[in-house]
Structure 1
Amino acid sequence: MSYQNILVENKGRIRYITINRESKLNALNKETIDELNSAFTDAFEDKTVSGVIITGAGTRAFVAGADISEFQHMGKEAGIALAKNGHERLTGLIANGTKPVIAAINGFALGGGLELALACHMRVASATAKMGLPEVTLGLIPGYGGTQRLTELVGKGRAMELILTADMVTAEQALQYGLINYSVPAEELIGKAEEILNKILQRSPKAVTAAIKAVNAATYNDGYPAEIELFGQCFETGDFREGVAAFLEKRKPLFNGE
């Protein structure tokens, strides 16, 4: 299949997926999510592929969030549909995939970009990478599973801090918090992801798939539907309209709690 926003390459038993919107800091728009859905679905079904590494083009960003311009005129129902689409076609698909997926975080992983990385089974980050969930600065909350998966990884208190302050963390902090598995020099990023994946590929594929399902069963809860509903409700607020307008106008938002 021909893609416009991603690059797909197989080397041996590994599929490499690169989000290729460097001029947009690899931001996730609808077309990119659709292409990622296709690439991951194919990878999970292709018997010659045993694992996936996903990264972003260039050195600045893994994925620097969603394409906020797509949100501007959405209401509650459109917001709910947006979150459900992100869950079902991307983050949930990856998290519940039958083959291991490693995120190689090569730069900024913000908002939907960090949620994409959180959905992967493991995360390796460049030492210069920065991560965060800045949605509250837009009058929103994370909508692609971030409230759930971040909490599972780093604990409730730390997740509350990161989500409510919208602060970014360095790779060193992310490693300390348990958000990522490894922090390595930029030139070693893909190599480290390959090292982990190649070790996994020496194990029983059936057992690896079963283990992914079992670990997911241990952490799954009913928070995802609540996140989707609350994400949609945010689209009805004045704070959301102000947050998105401020973002697009490159100014600080003036929230009034409406």
Structure 2
Amino acid sequence: MSIVKIEQKNHICRATINRPKSHNAINFGVMDKLENLLDELEHDATTRCFILSGSGQKTFISGGDLREFHTIKTAEEAKPMAKRMLAILKRIEQLPCWTIAAVNGAAYGGGCEMMLAFDFRIAAPHATFGFTQGKFYLPPGWGGLTRLVEKVGRSTALLWLAEAKVIDSQTALRHNLINHITESSDWQDEIWERAQNLTKNDRSFIKNLKEGAMRSTQARWKAIEAELDSFAQFWESDLHEERVEKFLNRK
């Protein structure tokens, strides 16, 4: 069973994280697959739109795989993992094609950080969004703090993170966290149709627009990279260790 399913058709590439038993959590295997896919997308001139979703209808991405990552104990060990995800999300953000996060269900922690790196975020009506890093005594570590402030504003971002807030799709749309909530019963077809509407121009045109939209925000990369150190510092804290242990042993 492939942990990342890939479908390519009509200038569109759709990838689906396929780890339903782990709520589509990101682990090292998923990182490997995403890096390989990005190698292709960066050089494949035929792809004009990239869609990422999770398998099933319950979960988009539940964040990092705590059971697998819990073997990492120190800040120095945590940094390479977080740095690797920072690089993956930066590459997604800089792809010379349009990108859509198709949020098919719950997005928690790193799942929210993942979707924020996409040009557009389209959600199913039942999708929920949980900025739950604080429950594990962690700040965002994959650039999520900077990107969340960009999308919803400083006060709302801080409130959601402080409360480890879980919000519904209507609240997410009202605060500009997402761009659209699907209306049809078959939300996958609706997202595919929207993706097709983005493929009318070639990659050189798409790249020009995306690079132009980023010219005034280059300083943000320093802010995103600065999140890495604080994430690693809290990762090795006793309180983070205790909360993860409690979560993993809750059953």
Q: Which residue of 1 aligns with 2:180?
A: 182
Listed one character per residue, the Cα deviations across residues 56-96 of structure 1 (whole Å, up to 9, x for unaligned) are 111111111110012324210111111101011x2111011
Q: Which residue of 2 aligns with 1:24?
A: 22
How many aligned residue pairs are there?
Answer: 248
Moved more, 138-147 or 39-48: 39-48
> Normalising by the residue count of structure 2, what TM-score does the alignment of the two structures yield?
0.93
1:79-228 matched pairs, under 5 angstroms: 79-88=78-87, 90-185=88-183, 187-220=185-218, 221=220, 222-228=222-228
Tell whether the 8 Å contact from 2:96 to 2:204 is kept in structure 1 after alignment: no
Listed one character per residue, the Cα deviations across residues 119-152 of structure 1 (whole Å, up to 9, x for unaligned) are 1110000010001221111111111111011111
Q: Per the alignment, in what secondary structure is the counterpart of residue 26 of structure 1? A: coil
Q: Which residue of 2 aligns with 1:44?
A: 42
1:248 and 1:219 map into 2 onto residues whose CA distance is 39
Which amino acid counterpart does residue 238 of structure 1 have in structure 2?
A: D
Q: Say what the alpha-carbon RMSD is for the aligned residues.
A: 1.6
CA spacing shift, 1:164–1:217, aligned 2, 3 Å: farther
1:115 and 1:19 map into 2 onto residues whose CA distance is 15
Shift of 1:40: 2.5
What is the percentage of aligned positions where both structures have the same residue?
Answer: 28
Shift of 1:232: 0.6
Moved more, 197-206 or 59-68: 197-206
For structure 2, the residue ranges without an aligned partner over 5 or more in a row are none
Q: Which residue of 1 aligns with 2:7?
A: 9
Tell whether the 8 Å contact from 2:115 to 2:121 is kept in structure 1 after alignment: yes
Shift of 1:236: 2.6
Tell whether the 8 Å contact from 1:96 to 1:216 is kept in structure 2 after alignment: no
Q: Per the alignment, in what secondary structure is the counterpart of residue 119 of structure 1? A: coil
Moved more, 118-127 or 76-85: 76-85
For structure 1, the residue ranges without an aligned partner over 5 or more in a row are 252-258
Tell whether the 8 Å contact from 2:27 to 2:69 is kept in structure 1 after alignment: no
Shift of 1:115: 1.1
1:227 and 1:96 map into 2 onto residues whose CA distance is 19
